[in-house]
């Protein structure tokens, strides 16, 4: 499965394996949103779930969902 199968709203994702052979991933622009799994795919699926929950929380609180810096228009 390719990372293109996930929708991270154009945020940059860092994906790596740690010293215990666990796969970790997080948003570079928001490192507090992270996930892990036994495989890269599992970690990315968990990150997708976490991102959907974060967006839902922003909507419930009436806040704007964060926008990836590379999506912002420059004036």
Q: DSSP characters for 2-23?
A: -GGGS--TT--EEEEE-TTS-E
CATH of the domain at 37: 3.30.160.250
For the chain, the domain total comes to 1
Residue ranges making up the domain that contains 61: 3-71
Q: What is the pLDDT of residue 3?
A: 64
Q: Band of the pLDDT at 75, cuts 50, 70, 90?
A: very low
Q: What is the pLDDT of residue 69?
A: 84
For the stretch 1-60, pLDDT in tens is 566 678 899 899 999 999 999 999 999 999 999 999 999 999 999 999 999 999 999 999
């Amino acid at each position: 499965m390719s990372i293109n199968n996930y929708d991270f709203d154009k945020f940059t994702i860092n994906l790596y394996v740690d010293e215990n052979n666990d796969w970790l991933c997080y948003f570079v622009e928001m490192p507090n949103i992270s996930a892990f799994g036994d495989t890269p795919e599992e970690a990315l699926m968990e990150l997708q779930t976490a991102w959907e929950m974060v967006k839902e929380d922003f909507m419930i609180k009436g806040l704007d969902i964060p926008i990836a810096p590379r999506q912002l228009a420059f004036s």
